Every structure is written in structure tokens, then in C-alpha cells.
């Protein structure tokens, strides 16, 4: 099985399925495409039907799009463990993941994932209303999930799930740009972010990311 990824330093969509697959100890090869270089489209040809990463090739099965890959892995490799087993929790997890997958453009545009970037304080005044609304909504989702009665392991739902993988790039962005979190939510959210930033799977990704030398100007804030 081969997972096609973008630069590990920057590719926020690529890290999502990679984290899920690595967390669940699934064996796969990886191919890294250097994004926004003259060779990008040639390298994607045949592997990435939408000319975007991530994409997954498993024998004669091709899957593209981060969430489609997570769903494929969930169904075919981890016996459904990618989502909570409880139906109420599962539908909630799917809903917040879809919110992430289809929205939050303010954050995506203004706070690019950039793992090598040292902590750079971005104050609320430097962000658009859209980005501030995104931050508020994400904090509310996290706080609500993390303080839910059934939640004992520090993940958004009872165990590490596709929801944690899909929100991971936001954790990284909040850390890089020292995003201000409301005082009443701060302790819970900081604890979650620390747990996620210390996941062995993420540390493994980060080690490779920090060896990369390519710079994507558009993702340098």
C-alpha cells in the first residue's frame, strides 16, 4: 500500500491519513511530492486523480482525498476503530470532522501549517473576523468533546479517532502562532494540544518534516 503525500513541513491534508495509519501501526510505503514545483504535476500523474495530495494506492484500489482515505482505512484495516463505537458519539465525530473538512477557510488561509516555523505570536487584531470565528468554533468543539462525560483518555472522543487526525493541523497551527484561547477553555485545550503534539506518530512525522529544505513562500506567514 502506498500513500502519496505533500511536503511534510507544510501539507496539512497529508498529515491526517498518515497519522491515522501510523497510530494504528499499518504498514505502508510513502511517496512525497514536492508541492508547487515545476515537477509536481508530472509526479502526481497516475497517482493523484485530482492533482492533489494525499492519495492512497492499495493494489488496484485508488483513493484520493484525506477523509476518503481515512474512511477506507477505517473500513478495511482497523475494523471500524477509526470512529467511536457509540452511535451518538460516532455521528458527532463525523459531523465535526465534516465541519473541518469543508470549512474553516479563515484559519486555512491566514495560519498555514508550517512545522519548522518557530513560535510566532499572532494576535487577534492581526486576524480577520472569519479566522477569529473559526478559532472560536474550533475551541468550542474541542472543549465540548474534551469535557464530555465519556471522555477519559484526553482525545476528542473516547479513543484516538479520525477526529483527532483531522483536527491535528489546527493543533499545530494554534501552537505555531500561539493562538489566544478563552481563559475558561485554556487548561483543557492546552492539555489536549500537548497530548497531540507529543503523540509518537506525530513526533515521527515531525522528524522527517524538519529535514526538508523546500520553502513554499505562500505558506510562510
Ligand X SMILES: N[C@@H](CCC(=O)N[C@@H](CS)C(=O)NCC(=O)O)C(=O)O
Nearest distance, CB of residue 12 and ligand X, angstroms: 5
Query: 8 or 189, CB closer to ligand X?
Result: 8
By CB atoms closer than 10 A (0-12, 13-18, 19+), residue 134 is: buried
Nearest distance, CB of residue 58 and ligand X, angstroms: 16
How many Cα atoms within 13 Å fall on the side-chain side of residue 127? 25
Residue listed under C-alpha cell 476503530: 81
Nearest distance, CB of residue 1 and ligand X, angstroms: 17
Nearest distance, CB of residue 151 and ligand X, angstroms: 26
- Measured CA to CA, the distance from residue 61 to residue 196 in angstroms comes to 31
- Measured CA to CA, the distance from residue 164 to residue 208 in angstroms comes to 21
Site for ligand X, rule CB under 6 A: 6, 11-14, 35, 51-54, 65-67
- Measured CA to CA, the distance from residue 103 to residue 64 in angstroms comes to 18
Nearest distance, CB of residue 34 and ligand X, angstroms: 11
Q: Distances from the Cα of 32 to the Cαs of 28, 43, 99, 110, 215, in angstroms?
A: 13, 9, 27, 25, 15
The phi, psi pair for 85, rounded to 5°, reads -80, -30
Amino acid at each position: 500500500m502506498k500513500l502519496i503525500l505533500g511536503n511534510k513541513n507544510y501539507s496539512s491534508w497529508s498529515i491526517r491519513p498518515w497519522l491515522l495509519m501510523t497510530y494504528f501501526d499499518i504498514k505502508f510505503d510513502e511517496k512525497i511530492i514536492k508541492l508547487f514545483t515545476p515537477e509536481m504535476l508530472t509526479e502526481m500523474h497516475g497517482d493523484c486523480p485530482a492533482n492533489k495530495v494525499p492519495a492512497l494506492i492499495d493494489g488496484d484500489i485508488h483513493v484520493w482525498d484525506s477523509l476518503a482515505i481515512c474512511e477506507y482505512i477505517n473500513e478495511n484495516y482497523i475494523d471500524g476503530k477509526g470512529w467511536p463505537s457509540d452511535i451518538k458519539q460516532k455521528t458527532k465525530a463525523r459531523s465535526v470532522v465534516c465541519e473541518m473538512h469543508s470549512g474553516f477557510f479563515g484559519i486555512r488561509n491566514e495560519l498555514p501549517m508550517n512545522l519548522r516555523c518557530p513560535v510566532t505570536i499572532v494576535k487577534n487584531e492581526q486576524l480577520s473576523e472569519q479566522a477569529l470565528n473559526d478559532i472560536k468554533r474550533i475551541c468550542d468543539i474541542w472543549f465540548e468533546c474534551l469535557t464530555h462525560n465519556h471522555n477519559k483518555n484526553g482525545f476528542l472522543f473516547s479513543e484516538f479517532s479520525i477526529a483527532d487526525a483531522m483536527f491535528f493541523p489546527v493543533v499545530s497551527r494554534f501552537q505555531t502562532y500561539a493562538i489566544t484561547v478563552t481563559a475558561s477553555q485554556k487548561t483543557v485545550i492546552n492539555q489536549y494540544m500537548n497530548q497531540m503534539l507529543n503523540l509518537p506518530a506525530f513526533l515521527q512525522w515531525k522528524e522527517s518534516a524538519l529535514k526538508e529544505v523546500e520553502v513554499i513562500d505562500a505558506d510562510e506567514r
